[in-house]
Structure 1
Amino acid sequence: MNSDLLILDYEPAHQPAFRALNHEWIAHYFTIEPIDNEMLDDPEGYILAPGGHIFMASHGGAIVGTCALIKEHKGVYELAKMAVSPRAQGLGIGWALGQAVVAKARQLGAHRVELLSNARLRPALALYAKLGFRHVPVPPTPYQRTNVKMVLDL
């Protein structure tokens, strides 16, 4: 792993970075949807309080990435809100965040991690496949942009 890279547990002071990192990629590729803002404005209420977890990636002293693990129901979690700043892409940060999320899911007793994505996000989909996720049919979802669902059985 990159010696300048630290994977940190989310703290309330990270909320502006969590929001900004996700807004950056969503606005670049898609449209920010109301559900995005609800979650990004209140990660403690939407993600942490129900039993989820958020990781932040620090590189060279700056927060450059994030990824959330959202508790869906017993034993099933969603990998969500993964973002790496364009200036820090290609440094293995997404891989490190993905590994941290999968390890945390195992620690929490999950038997499956799911994610929703979009076919336009080819580098992200390649990363998820490298982490062991596989494609499954896409169910109805609150996000307009979702056209990919992947799962990882633990």
Structure 2
Amino acid sequence: MISSIGSQSDADAFYALNEEWISRLFTLQEEDRAVLGDPFGRIVGPGGDVLMAREPGSGTVVGCVALLAYPDAVFELAKMAVAPAAQGRGIGRQLIAAAIDRARALGGTRLFLGTNSKLTPALHLYEDAGFGRITRDRLPVADYYARADILMELRSDGAL
């Protein structure tokens, strides 16, 4: 089951899920801490959303993804994480599909993301969902995560 962030415990799970993988593979940067530490103020308030994947029955959060809002109805798919114990069950695929649907519902005209070549499973999920590679000059922001060595946007055949 996937739903929007709704409580402080959801916010805590969002932080913990992302902190785990970012700290394991990269370095948690100050911008990561700021966004992860205040999803209501930094993501939801400005017009985005955080989607939470929950275990049926228990409601335990096992995954998440954020949609960060930019001017001109542009959204960034970011901060996607699935708990290690829940990986391999299609949760990432469900989160991406839900994020695309939510970006459309929010009036989005463009959806982009940054990822890293180390994250091969995620890269395949993004490609399967219709994302294609772009160059850094196509980003709507000048200062973007250095760890993002692959940039993508939803191709026109998967248009919002």
Smaller-chain TM-score range? over 0.9
Query: Normalising by structure 2, what TM-score?
Result: 0.89
Query: Normalising by structure 1, what TM-score?
Result: 0.92
> What is the RMSD computed on CA atoms of the aligned residues?
1.2
Which digits, 9 at most, give the CA deviation of each residue in 1:44-98, with x for residues without a partner? Answer: 1110011001100112522110001111111210000000011000101001110
Asked if 1:146 corresponds to 2:148, the answer is: yes
Identical residues among aligned pairs (%): 42
In the alignment, what sits opposite 2:6?
11
Q: Aligned to 2:144, what secondary structure does the other structure show?
A: coil
Shift of 1:142: 3.4
Alignment coverage as a number of residue pairs:
149
How many angstroms apart in 2 are the aligned matches of 1:149 and 1:66? 20
Over 4 Å off, 4+ runs: none
| Paired residues of 1:33 and 1:143 also in contact (CA < 8 A) | no
Name the one with the larger strand percent.
Answer: 1
In the alignment, what sits opposite 1:74?
72
Runs of 5+ in structure 2 lacking a partner? none
Asked if 1:53 corresponds to 2:49, the answer is: yes
In the alignment, what sits opposite 1:34?
30
Which digits, 9 at most, give the CA deviation of each residue in 1:90-145, with x for residues without a partner? Answer: 10100111000000111122121000111111100100001100001124533221
| Paired residues of 1:78 and 1:114 also in contact (CA < 8 A) | yes
